[in-house]
Amino acid sequence: MAESKLKHLKIVSPANERIKDAVSVRKRHNVSENGLVFVEGVRVLWSAIEARVSFGTVFYTEEFTRKNDSSKLIEAITRLGGEAVEVSDAVMDKLSGTEAPQGICALARASTVELDTLTGDRFVVCDGVKDTGNMGTIVRSADAFGASAVICLPGTCDPFGPKVVRASAGSVFHLPIARANREELVEWLGERRVPILIATPHGGKPVYETPLAGAFALVLGGEAGGVGSFMAEKAQLAVNVPMEPGVESLNVAITASICLYEAKRQRLNRHD
């Protein structure tokens, strides 16, 4: 790896102000005003690169530069605006949000979009989903099975939090993500004639009997209380995933994946 391309700067102290600022981005609860997002791991970084996000800084260790394709990854980030900064192992340990850092992380710029900018007619709505792993998996499944966007209602965790970004495997950079309050979302969906469908462990139609080939807004509730009463009252349909007797409910991310897969299957069958 060419020394001149990468070793613009080396930081060896965890007390360095740039490191403190990067750690504060990782630890923050909401996207900062400048839209900085903490991104960690080779796979997720490549996803961000493919989505053409802009970068602030990429931090890497000397050990990372010995790995295959490390130069391609860092150079791809610098082409998207990132400054390459080598750091010591101790600094990477402070930067990283994992127990076993891969030796590279970065600050990228990403943010939610406005409802009125969304296109398509198959939406995933998170109504108070708080678990970051679940949120990331929901975004990843939405991306995998062809949803148009993910919409976050109040009480939902930050869709660009580091753990969400990691759990989504970078899908947060591929799929539009919007924030909305409940009243404006219901009005917006009504104007576009997109029916509201809630996922529930009890009641409703089995997912394989529910029409999902067309437009829908699939509302997924929080892990503890499920879909809130406001969205439940506005829904035109309710769907459940049939389970064996004695099983109380499925994880919300698993429910989302099953419903979105079924929607994809129905669309493919409709076109055959």
Contact between 136 and 97 under an 8 Å Cβ cutoff? The reply is no
Same domain, 140 and 264: yes
CATH code at 199? Answer: 3.40.1280.10
Same domain, 80 and 123: no
Same domain, 191 and 220: yes
Same domain, 173 and 44: no
Contact between 72 and 84 under an 8 Å Cβ cutoff? The reply is no
DSSP SS3 for 246: coil
**The one-letter amino acid at 45:** L
Same domain, 103 and 130: no
Same domain, 129 and 225: yes
**Total structural domains within the chain:** 2
Same domain, 98 and 157: no
Q: What angle do CA 158, 160, 164 make, to 5 degrees?
A: 85
Of 56, 86, 109, the residue at which a domain comes to its end is 109
Of 83, 109, 135, the residue at which a domain comes to its end is 109
Same domain, 159 and 86: no
Low-confidence ranges of the chain (pLDDT < 70): 1-8, 29-34, 271-272
Euclidean distance between CA atoms 169 and 76, whole angstroms = 18
What the block records as the tokens of 98 is 């994992």
Exposure of 162 in the CB half-sphere (CA atoms within 13 A) = 19
Looking at the whole model, is its pTM more than 0.95? no
Of 109, 129, 146, the residue at which a domain comes to its end is 109
- 248 exposure class (CB count in 10 Å sphere: 0-12, 13-18, 19+): exposed
Euclidean distance between CA atoms 241 and 106, whole angstroms = 39
Q: Which residues contact 113 (CB under 8 A, 6 or more apart)?
A: 149, 176, 177, 178
CATH code at 40? Answer: 3.30.1330.30
The whole-number pLDDT of residue 1 equals 43
* Domain residue limits at 251: 115-271
